[in-house]
Amino acid sequence: MKFIFIIIALVLLCNLVSAHSTVIFHNTIDIHDDSVLFSNDGSLTEVGSDYQSYIIKNIIIKNDGVPCSFTKFNYDVDPIDGFNVLVNCNSKINNLSINDSTLSGTFNVNKIYEVNLGNSKKRFIGEDILYFEVEHEQSSNSNVFFNYFKLGIEHILFGFDHIFFIIGFILISTSFISLLKSISGFTVSHSITLSLAASGLLFISPKTVEPVIALSIIVVGLMSLVNLWENKLNKFWLIFGFGIFHGLGFAGAIAEVGFPKVSFFTALLGFNLGVEAGQLSIVLVVFPIIYYINKSKKYGIYIKKFISLIIVSGGIIWLISRLFF
């Protein structure tokens, strides 16, 4: 068990060291009828003396696929201290896309966008391309809830890394009660970090989060493959700890569609319950299968080892791809 924590520490250390060179790129996007005010807090640095040409070249804003034009640049004192640029789209904005390649390929970049439209506000986190539909009318609480509930279910059912992890801790559960303990620990931990990250109170780079999620898949696969655990307490806290990082991964899914300022808690509750519904559906399908596999004294152990090997292999592939590609 100790060497597992050593591996986790090494992955975190490698990623945290690289995080020192990470540039946090804060942007504010104020949307009006047919124009966009794009503002930066001054994190755009060391790109040469001709900032205006650099911005025009590397920030492409389109409405309904039609490029918008930069009409006015304003700097605080120097572009390094912050700038804003007015972009005219010549028609009412409905579908806005921003292809932002500033600093890409030069630094490790975490780009944060605060999008404002009247009383509506959303928060996005992206690397290069930001795309969203502009809602000119405020959605009802029920619509917000069900939209984010659906998003939570989709994130689980189409997030194969999370599915592998869930199947992994089903495999290492010695009974249904043991499974309930694992699920409860995983739910509590990922709900905490999901809420903190969605609220903007906690941010850890995906370059750290995603490799740890991949590592969690390897660990639960190994625990099933070679009975690699000391006692039930360690198993519970290990899954609880990995749930912290899975919660940050879930928060990244919300970041892709934005956090609504109005009905924020409704959206967060809907997404969280959607995640739990998706997780429960996997458990209801997989647990009975594993239960009947365990009843086969002749082939059960070999089938479980084979499934565990697939989980470990998938985790290794994800870990390598997320660390080096």
Report if residue 32 sits inside a domain: yes
Residues 202 and 112 in one domain: no
Report if residue 124 sits inside a domain: yes
Which comes out higher in pLDDT, residue 46 or 116? Answer: 116
Residues 199 and 316 in one domain: yes
Residues 106 and 227 in one domain: no
Q: Among 115, 133, 151, which residue terminates a domain? A: 133
The answer to whether 303 touches 205, Cβ cutoff 8 Å, is no
Among the listed residues 63, 189, 186, the one whose alpha carbon sits nearest the alpha carbon of residue 134: 63
Report if residue 244 sits inside a domain: yes
Report if residue 19 sits inside a domain: no
Task: Find the domain containing 246 and state its range.
Answer: 141-324
> How many Å apart are CA 263 and CA 251, to the nearest integer?
17
Residues 224 and 289 in one domain: yes
pTM above 0.75, yes or no: no
CATH code of the domain containing 272:
1.20.1250
Report if residue 12 sits inside a domain: no
Domain count, the chain: 2
Residues 186 and 233 in one domain: yes
Report if residue 15 sits inside a domain: no
Residues 211 and 301 in one domain: yes
Q: Is 99 helix (H, G, I), strand (E, B) or coil?
A: strand
Least confident of 54-68, 231-245, 250-264: 250-264
pLDDT digits (tens, 9 = 90+) for 58-110: 888 888 888 999 888 887 656 566 778 899 998 888 888 888 877 766 556 66
Report if residue 249 sits inside a domain: yes
Buried b / exposed e along 24-38 (16+ C-beta atoms within 10 A): ebbbebbbeeebbbb
Q: Among 108, 133, 158, which residue terminates a domain? A: 133
CATH code of the domain containing 54:
2.60.40
pLDDT digits (tens, 9 = 90+) for 127-151: 555 666 665 556 678 888 998 899 8
Residues 161 and 44 in one domain: no
Residues 151 and 112 in one domain: no
Helical (H) or strand (E) element with 98: strand 95-100
